[in-house]
């Protein structure tokens, strides 16, 4: 069973996130996303802590405490089966946890391919939103005091599919009218995959993929197999990768707050260790010998 202090810690994080969720959203395309211009400005649908009907992809910026900020940045893509976004548990709570390590988080609202009568595609529209988000963070790095050479992606389940599509596959040309943001690289410097879905595995550009941290539950019939397959492919390609596969654990344990097992409840501690070991929490740091995607800008 989980200990009382851990419960109190998560309660504190949830209360903090409830306030922080009022942060303004920054539209990735101010005049409307390519292919979604006619739905520009259409209200999103919010039920409890889940968000759907997303036509204007955006980022909510969750800055680290200036006293501890180290310049690292992570774009977070919540899961939800491409039907909705698990906005609180896989978005805002994740951002708060990253903030504690000095990382500034950018929580992504992306277009949903399986939401009602959606005409969007995962590979075309949702992945374009993720790539645009990485570019947008680099383009606004000075504004948010982050290092454009230490920009990672983090994805849960369906969001993990987007993370792999962006990190491990060659980026197509930007869709729509090219602007200043599109001049930046869409390839992240590192990737954090939390029970990622199968789309995007195997990788088509594994040898050029950034370092990866992968976590899943051994009983997750959806997402344990692709997690293992991707890890093996990255290792075979010579890419630094770390896999945590927790026994007797299924899908959607979020940042550990939904687990009754101490091992997977504390998996964010292993992530913090990995970020530190890789040098991502140190100004000017990063995995030795791994070329920075931003260097191709």
Of 278, 268, 277, 297, whose CA–CA distance to 105 is shortest? 268
pLDDT at 158 over 90: yes
The phi and psi torsions of 201 (rounded to 5 degrees) equal -115, 125
Mean pLDDT of 246-275: 86
**Mean pLDDT in residue range 266-285:** 95
What is residue 39's three-state secondary structure?
helix
* pLDDT given for residue 3 in this prediction: 42
230: closest CA among 198, 268, 201? 201
pLDDT in tens, 197-254: 999 999 999 999 999 999 999 999 999 999 999 999 999 999 999 999 999 999 999 8
pLDDT score at 185: 96
CA distance 38 to 36: 6
- Confidence (pTM): 0.90
pLDDT at 31: 93
Predicted pLDDT at 291 = 40
- Is residue 2 helix, strand or coil? coil
Q: What is the share, in percent, of the chain residues with pLDDT greater than 70?
A: 87
Structure tokens at 35: 């292919």
Per-chain mean pLDDT for the chain: 90
pLDDT band at 6; cut points 50, 70, 90: very low
15-19, 198-202, 248-252, 263-267 — most confident range: 198-202
- Quick one: which of 21, 25, 162, 164 has its CA closest to 96? 21
Output the CA torsion 216→72→61→89 (10° steps): 20
Q: Are 35 and 176 in contact (CB under 8 A)?
A: yes
Cα separation, 79 vs 100, whole angstroms: 22
Map out the domains of the chain with their CATH numbers: 4-285 (3.40.50.1820)
Quote the pLDDT of residue 11. Answer: 53
Residues 159-178: what's their mean pLDDT? 92
- Phi and psi at 224, nearest 5°, equal -70, -45
Q: Could you give the CA distance from residue 59 to residue 76 in angstroms, rounded to a whole number?
A: 9
CA–CA separation, 168 vs 208, rounded Å? 7
């Amino acid at each position: 069973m989980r200990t009382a202090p851990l419960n109190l810690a998560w309660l504190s994080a949830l209360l903090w996130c409830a306030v922080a969720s009022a942060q303004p959203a920054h539209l990735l395309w101010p005049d409307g996303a390519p292919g979604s211009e006619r739905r520009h400005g259409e209200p999103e649908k919010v039920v409890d802590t889940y968000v759907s009907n997303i036509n204007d992809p955006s980022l909510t910026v969750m800055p680290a405490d200036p006293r501890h900020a180290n310049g690292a940045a992570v774009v977070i893509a919540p899961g939800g089966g491409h039907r909705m976004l698990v906005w609180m548990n896989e978005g805002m709570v994740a951002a708060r946890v990253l903030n504690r390590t000095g990382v500034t988080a950018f929580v992504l609202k992306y277009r949903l391919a399986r939401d009602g009568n959606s005409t969007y595609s995962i590979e075309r529209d949702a992945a374009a939103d993720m790539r645009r988000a990485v570019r947008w963070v680099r383009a606004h790095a000075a504004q948010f005091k982050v290092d454009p050479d230490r920009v990672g992606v983090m994805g849960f389940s369906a969001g993990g599919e987007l993370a792999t599509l962006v990190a491990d596959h060659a980026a197509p040309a930007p869709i729509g009218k090219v602007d200043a943001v599109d001049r930046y690289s869409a390839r992240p410097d590192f990737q954090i995959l939390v029970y990622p879905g199968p789309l995007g595995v195997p990788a088509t550009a594994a040898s050029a993929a950034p370092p990866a941290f992968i976590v899943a539950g051994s009983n997750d019939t959806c997402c344990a197999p692709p997690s293992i397959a991707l890890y093996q492919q990255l290792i075979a390609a010579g890419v630094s990768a770390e896999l945590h596969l927790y026994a007797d654990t299924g899908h959607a344990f979020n940042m550990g707050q939904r687990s009754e097992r101490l091992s997977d409840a504390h998996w964010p501690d292993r992530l913090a260790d990995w970020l530190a070991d890789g040098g991502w929490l140190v100004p000017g740091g990063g995995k030795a010998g791994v070329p920075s995607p931003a260097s191709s800008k």
